[in-house]
Structure 1
Amino acid sequence: MTTAKRAISRALYGSRYDRVPWPQRIFVRPGERLARELQWQARVRRAPVVPLADYEAGIKAKSIEEFISCHLCGESRQQPLFEPTALKDNGKKKWSYRVVRCPDCGFLYRNPNIKPERLGELYANNYSTFLTGKYAARRRRRYRLTMDAFDPVFADGRDRRLLDFGCGAGYFLQEAEQRGFDACGVDLSPDSVDQANERLETARAYHGDPEDIPEIADGGFDVLTLWSVLAHLPRPLDDFRRFRELLAPGGVLLILTVNAKSLQLKAYGSNWIGFTKNHLMFYSSETLPHLLRQTGFAGVSFEPSYGDSIEAGTARIPEKLRSRLRRTVASSDGGMMMRALAFADEKAIERWGQGRDVVRLTSESALAQP
């Protein structure tokens, strides 16, 4: 937090929120939600909408990049909004890219984007080092909190098959083993797969494309999980059609990804922590149903993500502010992460959708919705 920001914060709110961690203050300070929503609306109104050809003319794409139209609705016009950038210690750019908004459906995506055939280059060099250490402990906690949020889907894995797409170093597969699932995973990082298989007992991790792995390509999975993977997929329609084919009747797809409706995104713009080096596309509860509907899923249900420390009870903020944070996140759909459970068919909705708000995605139910 810069000195200027600290001074502004003190002037507006005094010192009562100083002990609240900076990422959480946006959810508990009075009036902040309304201010950030207005800030977002103003940003969208001011941003120009340009034809794709004009947008391409002003940008030089790298060799691994290509210009694209909106994958969800096909709109080619672009609304440039952000330019996330990371700097080296010497002040030079480490990486940078542009994020645009689809003026038709509101989808946020990187443009130019990464060519699908070059995607593996982002994960080839010791990517597993990012997935271990302290990060691994946080991931394990997030897995458990998310599984609990969708209880009882993950309560008992006996006689059920699970595929973890983008399994990384295998930490979630360990959790799946312990819950009785017949589990396997696949990943583009060879060193991560090697590490996963060293720690797994009954589960197995594979490197490469699922279509090239017979144990996966045959499908029949009861559960498919995407832990922080969705933002990395350059051809989501193709991938989700394949996911739907891999699911057995009554199967479900769990998604955890950064939330494009996050109040933090609306507040911090290009500095939002969801804009990481390898993220390509950014979904919300408004845009994800478009993807699921086009790829054959019958429904989807969402669970608010209040933050790991809040849900685990380790956040060092007063109970009154924790309650306020939960209300703000739930009412704005503005948490940092988005958690969703997609249902393959009506059988899945009947079994796992009881007691949940399910957005129906089939053509008949879509026509019935306002």
Structure 2
Amino acid sequence: MTNRILAKLAYGSRYDRVPWAQRVYVRPGERLIREAQWRRLTGRAPIMSRAAYERLRPLGEIEEFLDCMMCGESRQQPLFEPTGGKGWRYHVVRCPACGFLYRNPNVRPERLGDLYSTGYSTFLTGKYAANRQRRYDLTMKAMSPVFDEGKERRLLDFGSGVGLFLELAERRGFDAYGVDLSPESVAQANERLSRARTYFGAPEEVPEIAAGGFDVITLWSVLAHLPRPLEDFQRFRSLLAPGGVLLILTVNARSLLLKAYGSKWSGFTKNHLMFYSPQTVRTLLARTGFAGVAFAHHYGDTIEAGTTRLSPAHAARLRRSVEASDGGNMMRVLAFADEEAIGRWGRGPLTVHRLHD
């Protein structure tokens, strides 16, 4: 039986008004069941050498085999085989040393542009874009006061797509720039924007961006797309001004939805390469020179926006479960460049974790 049928038998229709992505957090006992399911999977899945793993997998034209990017471990624990429309398929392994999840074989950095060369801007402006700006607003609110006032502050949106976030950054007064690997998206973004500008290519190829001095860098649903995250984050750190911060929104590889749906998890999309949990994000930031990190729980866009109303009991259970387990299916992260950034932006409801204590 499918998970959906089993849930219907167990719970009836009492949770039909709860969005599907929140039901694993709301239905009694399900969080513990999914956590046990994950422990069983990772405890039983085989662990093999990279050489043994390579013998099992064909290597595509734009692909390469990797060791773990977070800790260097070469052993592999194969877990998932996501598939999707138009025949895409890839393999996801877990690092048995640090728990990092990543696609293996992965895409070679010099071929990353192949994933975005044509048609990607159409995806970004279609169904995908319908609620993007609401998500951006909700995340900026959760990270207040970082985004409350942009006057005389420089902002870089890395992976800026068709400029949906840069449009909001303009309205808040930021001196805003963007960079993207899709030429179609860059062209559409610059048609949309009035003061902000976005560029095609890498940050070091654009003089206006390579000069650095940014107060804020944003990565909206970009982190999972980076084939060399350590190199990229070292660059981001160098581009930040003293007191600067970096915002990440990405899928959460500690999510109960991953543990419930496995290869059918919504975070396994065609162009995603690596999948981070709060722990592996900490590792990435610590290794690339950031001073601290804070996380904001994600309860679901429609619930936070008030367009989906839960009963008081369901709402309370959702909050307790998200806060006690994984922080939500999406991970919202604020990284602090230095102690000055922690002192300036680390107050309020966010709890700052220093990375080098």
Correspondence for 1:136: 129
Which residue in 1 is equivalent to 2:340?
347
Give CA deviations for 1:151-197 in whole Å, capped at 9, x if unaligned.
00000000100000000000100100000000000000000000000
Q: Residue 315 of structure 1: CA displacement?
A: 1.2
Contact 2:252 2:276 in 1 (8 A): yes
Could you tell me which residue of structure 2 aligns to residue 37 of structure 1? 35
In the other structure, the counterpart of 1:360 is 354
CA–CA separation in structure 2 for the residues paired with 1:211 and 1:5: 47
Q: Which amino acid aligns with 1:115?
A: R
Aligned to 1:60, the other structure's residue is in SS state: coil
Q: Tell me the amino acid that sits aligned with residue 337 of structure 1.
A: M
CA deviations on 1:180-222 (whole Å, 9 max, x unpaired) are 0000000000000000000101100100111110000010000
**Deviation for aligned residue 1:316:** 4.3
Larger displacement relative to structure 2 (310-319 or 285-294): 310-319
Residue in 2 that maps onto 1:118: 111
Q: Partners of 2:9 and 2:127 in 1: how far apart?
A: 36
1:217-274 residue CA offsets vs partner (Å, 9 max, x unmatched)? 0100000000000000000000000000000000000000000010000110000010
CA-CA distance at 1:114 after TM superposition: 0.2
1:213 lines up with 2:239 in the alignment: no
Structure 2 counterpart of 1:149, from 101, 122, 142: 142
Report the Cα distance in structure 2 between the residues aligned to 1:82 and 1:46, rounded to whole angstroms.
13
Map residues 302-341 of structure 1 onto 2, 5 A cutoff. 302-341=295-334
Could you list the runs of 5+ residues in structure 2 that have no partner in the other structure? Answer: none
- 8 A contact 2:53–2:76 mirrored in 1: yes
Q: Report the Cα offset of residue 18 of structure 1.
A: 2.7
2:191 equivalent in structure 1 = 198
Q: Deviations over 1:298-354 (max 9, x none)?
A: 010001111101100111432321221121111112411000000000000000012
Query: How far apart are 1:5 and its partner, in Å?
Result: 4.6
Maintained 8 Å contact 1:107/1:282: yes
Q: Do structure 1's residue 162 and structure 2's residue 155 form an aligned pair?
A: yes
Q: Distance in 1 between matches of 2:56 and 2:20?
A: 36
Rounded Cα–Cα distance in structure 2 between residues aligned with 1:334 and 1:152: 21
Alignment partner of 1:290 is 2:288: no
Q: Which residue does the alignment assign to 1:22?
A: 20
The question of whether the paired residues in 2 share the 8 Å contact of 1:263 and 1:334 is answered with no
How far apart, in 2, do the equivalents of 1:313 and 1:323 lie?
15
Q: Please, which moves more after superposition, 335-344 or 17-26? A: 17-26
Residue identity over aligned pairs, in percent, reads 68
For residues 92-141 of structure 1, the C-alpha deviation after alignment (integer angstroms, 9 at most, x for no partner) is xx110000000111100000000000000000012111111343231000
Specify the SS of the correspondent of 2:331: strand
State the secondary structure of the residue aligned to 2:93. strand
Say whether residues 1:56 and 2:54 are aligned partners.
Answer: yes
Give me the TM-score of the superposition, normalised by structure 1: 0.94
Is residue 242 from structure 1 mapped to residue 240 from structure 2 by the alignment?
Answer: no
- The alpha-carbon distance between structure 1 residues 87 and 169, as it changes in their structure 2 partners (threshold 3 A), is closer
**CA distance in 2: counterparts of 1:18 and 1:209, whole angstroms:** 45
Give the conservation status (yes or no) of the 8 Å contact 2:296–2:327.
no
Match 1:272 to one of 244, 265, 269: 265
Structure 2 residue 64 is matched with structure 1 residue 72: no
> How far has the Cα of 1:4 moved from its partner?
5.2
Number of aligned positions between the proteins: 356
**Contact 2:133-2:164 within 8 A present in 1 as well:** yes
Distance 2:59 2:70 in 1: 22
- Aligned residue identity for 2:353: V
1:72-109 deviation digits (Å, cap 9, x = unpaired): 10000001110001145xxxxx1100000001111000
Moved over 6 A (4+): none
What's the C-alpha RMSD, in Å, of the aligned pairs? Answer: 1.2
Q: Deviations over 1:33-91 (max 9, x none)?
A: 00000000000001111000000011111010000000110000001110001145xxx
The one-letter amino acid paired with 1:328 is S
- In structure 1, stretches of 5+ residues that fail to align are 89-93, 366-370
Q: TM-score, normalised by structure 2?
A: 0.97
Letter in 1 for 2:272: H
